[in-house]
Amino acid sequence: MEVENLVAGLNPVQREAVLASSGPLLILAGAGSGKTRVIVHKIAYLITAQGVAPRQIIALTFTNKAAQEMRERVREMIGPVAQSMWISTFHSSCARILRLHGELLGFSAKFSIYSDREQTALLKEIIRKLNLTPTMFPVNYLSSVIEDAKNRGVSPEDYAQEVHHAPNPKLRLVAEVYKLYQQGLKDNDALDFGDLLFHTVALFNRHPELLESYRERFSYILVDEYQDTNEIQYRLIGLLAEPRRNLCVVGDDDQSIYSWRGAQIKNILDFESDYSEAKVIRLEENYRSTATILKAANRVIAANKRRKGKDLWTSNHSGDKVSLYLAANEADECSYVVKRISTSVREPGEFAIFYRTNAQSRIFEEGLSRRAIPYTIVGGTKFYDRAEVRDLLAYLKVVNNERDGLSLLRILNIPTRGVGKTSVEQLQAYAEEHDLSLWDTLERLQSEALIRGGARNSLIGLADMIRQWRRRDQEGCRPSRLCAEIVAGIGFAEWLLKNNDPVQAQTRQENIAELLNAIELWEDEQEKPTLAAYLENVALINDDHLDEAAQSRVTLMTIHRAKGLEFNEVFLVGLEEGLFPGKRSYEKPELLEEERRLCYVGMTRARQKLHLSACRVRRLYGQTMDNRPSRFLLDIPLELLKREDRNGKVHDSGRLLPAVGGSARIRSQASAGQTERPAPVRNLNFEKRKSAAKTAAAARSAGAAGEVDKAPSFVSGSRVEHSVFGPGVVAGVKGSGDNAKLDIIFRDRGRKLLSLKIATLKFLG
């Protein structure tokens, strides 16, 4: 392929980035600037124009979706030869290395990769053994500490040294938990996600000859989303890049938003210090958003001090001004968003609602439901987290890896086979006493009466089935066929039908069918589909795609989950001080800067229209907060904004609009032609604030007295509480007077139609 064909269609800066073939290179890629295109063309250029063998290139990214897209696009450009390249996530690449060389660290090639739930189960067992109080040592806290230690490359021994002289004795107990947790993983021949990187770095450090062989193999290293790398990923990249230093990293310091999970923005900010000969190229032309949206986002991010600096621009049209809605409360904010969506000619799938915290989604779910607008929440219960799916995967894991005691423990009595808690505890006690795995203990049941009665016979039968399925796996049985045989062998579908109501049973049986379908689809893409390879795939994939339906739906998600996505129309809600930015960010400048970057990410997801909103009063986490608009709103120039009412009508008089410089400019028809005067933030007001407060106070008073006898007091969107059904939201009012009925969506009890005359309701606002 000619060089000109390789760079055809690229802008001059993208072209420069592609042709820079050797030495360290930092590509600062702004939002929507075509970074994936640059990476793909660069790979094609190295192979076809520079003569680099595909197996000498490794491209690392963070999500399976990004890796899959990159693989497909490279294959389209250069053909099947791309298959010998490593284009994958950090975790997948490390798992591949450890499968080949893990015996050097003491685990087999068939090690299990534990999910969050399996990690939790192991930690709970350790808490029990150490007689720790779960309230003092919550599993989430322990898991977070261990994950952070691994992200920093800190072993249990190193962590014990770190906290040895700590004033808080609790940390020394945490060190003991970390030590026992790692031992538990080893006993089960298992690794967690943090281990995949931690052990790969340890492997290279302990075996220099192995590291040298991988350095020799990977002559060119490309890293996507470099701003999201943590300490252990930074070390891994550094080890592989020497001595050739043919390292190309692509990222955007303005989109570094994951410090809470270990990402270090200093990795991208200090790249030129780490590699003094590095070349820096900035991709600043945006192909996604309108010029107005980009100008607004640029003004928000410009207030940050710790950044490399760049300004996005576009040749796209200016587009609409950024909409601003200043709501009385969260119900008012929801009404505005839902009405704009319901009256639009766009398909629901073109809209996204972004919020700072998951708790904010509830009211939008209810509002969209009332208007029968389909929606999806990104981050709900994932397919592979569903109980029946986890049960079958546990069977497959035990067939694949006999040392996986946690998975074996899960299936001992699923489906129910008369194995009670006492029998399980006896098995565990025997295993601990004789230093055996749970599987070895199970095999001894044939010759020793460790437990008696029906439970013993059932477990012997289970062990026989597992051995049979292992033989089938060794004979080359496809994973989908093996899974189907397990479902039939244990009578799983019949058990689900017997132990669930018909609707729930059908849903769970459909999930089983979907799992079998998912395995078959995976098999179709593999040369040699094996059970071990499938289980690794499941452990590492992001399975949101399994929840997608053909129906177009509004997307609801936290802004953290929005990174890398784009939508025609975006609602960025809850822009209030104390919520976004959050109160905790006030304590440290670096946290406040990350909040600002998060806002920038949310804004730059919008292609054509961007709506911003804030509430004067918000009830969240059981508290009512009196809020000021977010400082991020105040960074946006007036000329880029339009103030809307709930119906989308623009306020020409614009009594209040945020302005740059941490102040507000008060404008009115009466002062037209006069110089605008700055006002302090505390003077910011909201339209109809007094009227809304008066109406709410009257309604609350009537509700508290229990004498509400007029349906109009309970308008659509009112929040209420029922003495039996709990909190809910009024979806509508039917009838009037004594015949009035309220259509209410209760948070925990579903939708109900209640007579206003009889129902005992408390008005909440």
The residues annotated as belonging to the active site are 35-36, 224-225, 255, 605
Q: Tokens in use for 478?
A: 């496809």
Q: Tokens in use for 514?
A: 């979907």
Single out the residue of 381, 599, 420 nearest to residue 507, CA to CA. 381
Q: Are 641 and 629 in contact (CB under 8 A)?
A: no
Single out the residue of 194, 10, 224, 172 nearest to residue 113, CA to CA. 194
SS percent in the chain: helix, strand, coil, step 5: 50, 15, 30
The rounded radius of gyration (Å) of the Cα atoms in the chain is 29
Q: How many CA atoms lie within 13 A of 605 on its CB side?
A: 29
> Do the bridges between strand 554-558 and strand 677-679 make them parallel or antiparallel, or are there none, so unpaired?
unpaired
| The length of the chain, given as a count of residues | 765
Residue 686's φ and ψ, nearest 5 degrees, are -125, 145
Single out the residue of 179, 202, 182, 201 nearest to residue 192, CA to CA. 182
- Rounded CA gap, 179 and 189, in Å? 15
Single out the residue of 704, 753, 344 nearest to residue 554, CA to CA. 344
Q: Are 561 and 255 in contact (CB under 8 A)?
A: no
How many CB atoms are located within 10 Å of the residue 140 CB? 10
User: How wide is the angle at C-alpha 490 spanned by C-alphas 485 and 494, nearest 5°?
Assistant: 105
What residue type is assigned to position 693 of the chain? A
How many CB atoms are located within 10 Å of the residue 209 CB? 6
Residue 207's φ and ψ, nearest 5 degrees, are -130, 80
- Rounded CA gap, 68 and 90, in Å? 13
Q: How far is CA 738 from CA 105, 249, 705, 709, 751, in A?
A: 76, 70, 18, 8, 21
User: How wide is the angle at C-alpha 318 spanned by C-alphas 316 and 320, nearest 5°?
Assistant: 125
- Rounded CA gap, 749 and 765, in Å? 20
DSSP assignment of 364-405 equals: HHHHHHHTT--EEETTSS-GGGSHHHHHHHHHHHHHH-TT-H
Q: Tokens in use for 614?
A: 């804030």
Which helix (H) or strand (E) element contains residue 754? Answer: strand 750-755
